[in-house]
A and B are shown apart, each in its own frame.
Chain A
């Protein structure tokens, strides 16, 4: 079946540091890949997505590239802010369209 493995947290960075959160997946066929973010006290929000190999999703300074050869979709941001502190979830959507999520990575950015 489908599965998503995320880099374990928590991750603590200083403001303006570079962020990478690793995500790899196992799936049959050609899934779509997503990053969702959950800010404290709020619901899950779509951050970015990619639907085919070599696509790059981007939003709010975050980027992730769909790498089929390495089955990865790592999240990156060049300069994090305190407001980026949240839990980040990598997810895939297979042929049946329901999402399979990773376990989440807690990010804390210190001023």
Chain B
């Protein structure tokens, strides 16, 4: 069990630029989640995948955000035309199966800073 891996750990970019983050879940985990966490707050749900299918998207996920999980393994989260308000920690989590109470395992996150 190598854990959930996220890349990069930190990203600094200018407002208006596009950024892409990658998440590698624990192998054999079929569910993958994206969350956003701002300073002093708990993580907020953005979207999740079961295998390669994106099953739910939060209203927080504006049109500038897109997520993919093309082969049901790693996932990418892209933010287009970044804005100051996008500055946050972006967390990825994975879990095995759909049983009630199945815990989610989190990566260390990608911290995004918009200049």
In the complex, residue of chain A having the shortest beta-carbon distance to the beta carbon of B46: A98
| In contact, A101 and B48 (Cβ under 8 angstroms) | no
Bin chain A's interface residue count. Answer: 20 to 34
In the complex, residue of chain A having the shortest beta-carbon distance to the beta carbon of B45: A98
Contacts of A51 in B (CB 8 A): 100-101
A80 vs B88: C-alpha distance when bound (angstroms)? 31
| In contact, A101 and B42 (Cβ under 8 angstroms) | yes
> A69: CB under 8 A from chain B?
no
> B106: CB under 8 A from chain A?
yes
- Contact A104-B40, Cβ < 8 Å, known A97-B48, A98-B48: yes
> B79: CB under 8 A from chain A?
no
A97 vs B103: C-alpha distance when bound (angstroms)? 10
| In contact, A89 and B101 (Cβ under 8 angstroms) | no
Bin chain B's interface residue count. Answer: 20 to 34
A97 vs B93: C-alpha distance when bound (angstroms)? 12
How many whole Å from B2's CB to the nearest CB in chain A? 13
> B104: CB under 8 A from chain A?
yes
Interface flags for A35-74 (1: CB within 8 Å of B; 0: not) read 0100000111110011100000000000000000000000
> B41: CB under 8 A from chain A?
yes
| In contact, A49 and B101 (Cβ under 8 angstroms) | yes
| In contact, A99 and B45 (Cβ under 8 angstroms) | yes
List residues of chain B with CB under 8 Å of any chain A CB. 4, 31, 33, 35, 40-45, 48, 56, 91, 93, 95, 98, 100-109
Knowing that A51-B100, A101-B44, A104-B41 touch, tell me 16 more A-B residue pairs with CB under 8 angstroms.
A43-B4, A43-B109, A45-B106, A49-B101, A89-B43, A93-B101, A97-B48, A97-B102, A98-B33, A98-B45, A99-B35, A99-B43, A101-B43, A103-B40, A103-B41, A104-B42
A-B pairs, top 8 by smallest CB distance, nearest first, are A101-B42, A51-B101, A32-B101, A43-B108, A44-B106, A98-B45, A46-B103, A43-B106
